[in-house]
Amino acid sequence: MESISLLIESVVRKLFGVTQPVTLERPDAQFGDAATNVAMQLAKTVGKNPREIAETIAEELRTHEDIANVTVAGPGFINIRLSDPTLLRLLADEPGATRRGQTVVIETNNPNPFKPMHIGHAYNAIVADTMANLLAVSGAAVKRVSYHGDVGAHVGRSMWALLRYVQGDVAKLAEVPEAERNAFMGKMYAEGTRAYKEDESAKTEIDELAKQSFERRDPLYKTVYDTVFDWSFRQIDANVRRLGNVQIEKRYFESEADPVGVKTVREHVPDIFTESNGALIFEGSKHGSFDNVFVGSNGRGLYAARDMGLIQLKAADFPALSQCIVVTGNEQGAYFKGVIAATELILPEMKGKLVNIPTGLVKLSTGKMSSRTGDVVTIEWLFDEFKKAIENRGGEASEQIVAGALRYQFLKVKIGGDVVFNIGDAVSLTGNTGSYLQYAHARARSILDKVQSVGALDELHDEDRPLVRKMTEYADMMNLAMNTLEPHHICAYLFELAQEFNRYYENNQVVGSDQEAHRAALVAQYADTLQAGLTVLGIVAPNRL
């Protein structure tokens, strides 16, 4: 619709000698294809009644070949109906490459090893991966990376339980069936966590084992660690693939970020960090965050130092980066404000490039999940339950169909809001679901398989107009989603598009009609539009279900 905005801007300059940006809205179809309140914006500058200004603009627009009709409503709203050729031409509009020339680094998954991946990890991975898709569509060179905690407290808890399990005989780990390893890791971590809370002697042992995770000099410790570490990343990589995520190009670990961050903190005492009882603290309360310990009194870096070190590693690996994005739960929002503020003080060249996007929680009837207690919904369980639900309604539960239903259930909710997860709803073929849209695409392709030929879409009939009008919204909608990095706009649009097509198809026979070739062209355009949107969401658009 940008071409129509530019047309109106040129008319305003011609009539009033004023440069005024024009924003168009899409009114109800009964009022036209586009509407603007530019006349009311001009009233003060021009010194005339906005209704009079609107009538003057409307009269000029009526002479233009792109415009079929113009009406003025209320105090000065201008409603525009586009000509058929213009509306058809808008189908070719593409989203703007607003980030061309930029390099964006984004973490698209970051589950820690020694734990099974759960539904919360799936949510963050899917959201970040879809943001990366939006960045790519907008022209950016996207660098997908991951970050994982391979050292520290959680490792100590798992290792405490693992070492008790093997009792010096590492061969016992080989007895754990591959299909049960994720559950086994979850059990070990939960046991270590309970012991840490309930047993003072175990707490001391676990703290010592956490320290050992940084060096791993003990042969038994190292062997057990390496074995379960390998298990972890086999399941992480497999699960990320199952979710439909694009493969990362670089993986980072806390163990490599830690020394970089600690060294940087020590180099900036007292100008940025202050010492308190041996710990090094950043006064984040002065920067919209909270005062936070970056390096503990024992000399070890804490999470904030590692996150700052990670930023430096990314900057070194991708020197042309324009933006560095991390997607986390909203409970980490204040924490990341502090990390970003400290980093920008040390590295002023990073100012404005560091972005934390907070998400909401995934909620189940049992409440918030916690891997600390072992009360988690794993990705394996999630896929199994989706498959059962799809098969129960008579569908074919392929991995791609399951992943599509799961991704859409997450992505249709505005980022930052909580996701209330219901598997039965997510696989419905009658509601706002990924399954519904995958079915809608397959249905359209099956129609095209039955026609004799697909004609050229070079004319419009009255019954075509609502569907074509909805399809012309694709580029504007995608621009909105790209600029805000909010995939829910795509979900809402695709659902509305599918509903519009259903209305069209219910009233207009395609196969065997005297307008078969023309209507098949409409079906093809619709299917291509639906597929393009699903692809950005990371959802496969099947030709058959």
Domain boundary among 313, 333, 363: 363
Q: Report the pLDDT value the prediction gives residue 365, as an integer from 0 to 100.
A: 52
DSSP class of 67: E
Residue 407 domain boundaries: 401-536
Q: Do 219 and 70 fall within a single domain?
A: no
Q: Do 442 and 517 fall within a single domain?
A: yes
User: H or E segment at 329?
Assistant: strand 323-329
Structure-token pair, residue 24: 């168009």
CB 325 within 8 A of CB 106: yes
Domain boundary among 342, 363, 384: 363
Q: Report the pLDDT value the prediction gives residue 425, as an integer from 0 to 100.
A: 81
Q: Do 128 and 232 fall within a single domain?
A: yes
Q: Do 321 and 172 fall within a single domain?
A: yes
Give the residue with greater pLDDT, 255 vs 368.
255
Q: Do 421 and 492 fall within a single domain?
A: yes
Which amino acid would we find at residue 477? M
Q: Report the pLDDT value the prediction gives residue 372, as an integer from 0 to 100.
A: 47
Asked if the structure places residue 504 within a domain, the reply is: yes
Q: Do 64 and 109 fall within a single domain?
A: no
Q: Report the pLDDT value the prediction gives residue 369, as an integer from 0 to 100.
A: 52
E strand intervals along 360-423: 362-363, 419-420
Asked if the structure places residue 385 within a domain, the reply is: no
- CATH value at residue 126: 3.40.50.620
Over residues 234-246, the pLDDT tens digits come to: 999 999 999 999 9
Q: Do 439 and 355 fall within a single domain?
A: no
Q: Do 356 and 428 fall within a single domain?
A: no
Burial tier of 497 (Cβ tally within 10 Å: 0-12, 13-18, 19+): buried
Asked if the structure places residue 391 within a domain, the reply is: no
Query: How many structural domains is the chain composed of?
Result: 3
Domain boundary among 48, 82, 116: 82
- CATH value at residue 516: 1.10.730.10
Asked if the structure places residue 357 within a domain, the reply is: yes
**Residue 232 backbone class (left: φ over 0; alpha: ψ -120 to 50; beta: rest):** alpha
Q: Report the pLDDT value the prediction gives residue 364, as an integer from 0 to 100.
A: 65
Q: Do 310 and 197 fall within a single domain?
A: yes
| pLDDT average, residue stretch 54-60 | 96
Asked whether the predicted pLDDT for residue 373 surpasses 70, the reply is: no
Of all residues in the chain, what percent carry a pLDDT higher than 70? 98
Q: Do 298 and 410 fall within a single domain?
A: no
Over residues 34-54, the pLDDT tens digits come to: 999 999 999 999 999 999 999
| pLDDT average, residue stretch 208-215 | 96
Over residues 313-372, the pLDDT tens digits come to: 999 999 999 999 999 999 999 999 999 999 999 999 999 999 999 999 987 654 445 544
Asked if the structure places residue 89 within a domain, the reply is: no
Q: Do 294 and 345 fall within a single domain?
A: yes
Q: Is the pTM of this model over 0.75?
A: yes
Asked if the structure places residue 287 within a domain, the reply is: yes
Asked if the structure places residue 374 within a domain, the reply is: no
Phi, psi of 425, rounded to the nearest 5 degrees: -65, -35
Q: Do 74 and 116 fall within a single domain?
A: no
Structure-token pair, residue 490: 């795509």
Asked if the structure places residue 92 within a domain, the reply is: no
